[in-house]
Amino acid sequence: MGFGYFFKERKFYLHFLIAIGLSLILFWIVLKSLDAFTKHGQVFLVPDFEGKTLITIKDEGYNDFFTFKIIDSVYFKAREKGSVVTQNPLPGSKVKQGRHVYLTVVAQLPKKVLMPNLKNLSLRQALVTLESKGLEAGELEYIEYFAKNAVIDQLLGEEPIEPDTEISRGTIINLVLGKGDAVTKIPLPFLVGLTTEQAHALLHYHSFNVGKEYYREGFDPVHSKVYKTNPDILSRQLLVLGEKVDLWYRSDELINFEEYVRQFKVDSLRKDSIDYRNFEIENEQ
């Protein structure tokens, strides 16, 4: 019986077709099993968890879709303890169900740090040093001293604090600085659209103090942004070192700050143009 005999038998072709059919069915079952196991094509958008605690996240049912892991904690005096500061993956990322979401949250208690020695540093150097230690700059007090913006003393409240003293992160340190030989007046930086933290930092870097603060919709470290100031930015008023600047805040959930800031800058350019024309007219007379 030759090898070609099988190709003449009807049963051979029938069994061959059955084998192919069974192989295709088995292949289809394997693919479907993989799809079910990997949830092929089923993705979820990662929400923005910033400002929420793990308890809130659980209550909202997100534990059914993601696995949360806390990888770090940082201390913020103004934020709710245990609330999310940063997350990975970022909000809007497409992930599969069960994906790990790594969180950095606000620490329950501040860590301890050693007070640095700020004496004889410039104001800018002192602010950078405080920030690197997790400390906050408070009141800037200017006194008669030949070196402008040189740190003469560092205070905890009204009392001097010695270097290497153990204090909590987030502690406010007041600085005593020199005025310099001549009276210095400088313009107010552009603060509109900044958060509370950003506005405080920028004022300090420009040698000003934070005055009274008003929150129209209540204090919110994430959404409260500077709406107006006193002195008014458009006034172009020059201020002395250490002068206080009052701040008004509105929520960026109610106001389109991108458009508001754009209009502010347009008004600023328009005022510059008017002031320049007035200057030309005055000099022609």
- Token readout for 34 is 């993989």
pLDDT in tens, 227-263: 999 999 888 889 999 999 999 999 999 999 999 999 8
Q: Given this model, what pLDDT does residue 280 score? A: 42
The pLDDT of residue 196: 94
CA dist 250 → 194, 218, 224, 255 (Å): 11, 8, 5, 7
Question: CA 244, 182, 206, 235 torsion: positive or negative?
Answer: positive
Q: Which residue has the tokens 């950078």?
A: 128
CB 198 within 8 A of CB 173: no
Please state whether beta strands 112-114 and 166-168 pair in parallel, antiparallel, or not at all (unpaired).
antiparallel
pLDDT of residue 285: 46
> Which domains does the chain possess?
44-106 (3.30.10.20), 110-182 (3.30.10.20), 184-285 (3.30.10.20)
pLDDT at 178 (0 to 100): 97
* Secondary element (H or E) of residue 55: helix 54-59
How many other CB atoms are there within 10 angstroms of residue 172's CB atom? Answer: 14
Instruction: List, for residues 154-196, the tens digit of each pLDDT value.
Output: 999 999 999 999 999 889 999 999 999 888 899 999 999 999 9
Cβ proximity of 224 and 251 under 8 Å:
yes
In this prediction the pTM is 0.66
Q: Tell me which residue of 216, 219, 210, 209 sits closest to 255, measured CA to CA.
A: 216
CB 106 within 8 A of CB 82: yes
Which residues in the chain land under pLDDT 50?
Answer: 274-285
| Other CB atoms within 10 A of residue 201 CB | 16
Q: How many beta carbons lie within 10 A of that of residue 10, not counting itself? A: 7
SS3 category, 269: helix
Cα–Cα nearest to 137, from 92, 175, 167 = 175
pLDDT at 12: 60
Phi, psi of 99 (to 5 degrees): -60, 140
* Per-residue pLDDT at 108: 83
Helix residue ranges per DSSP H, 82-195: 123-133
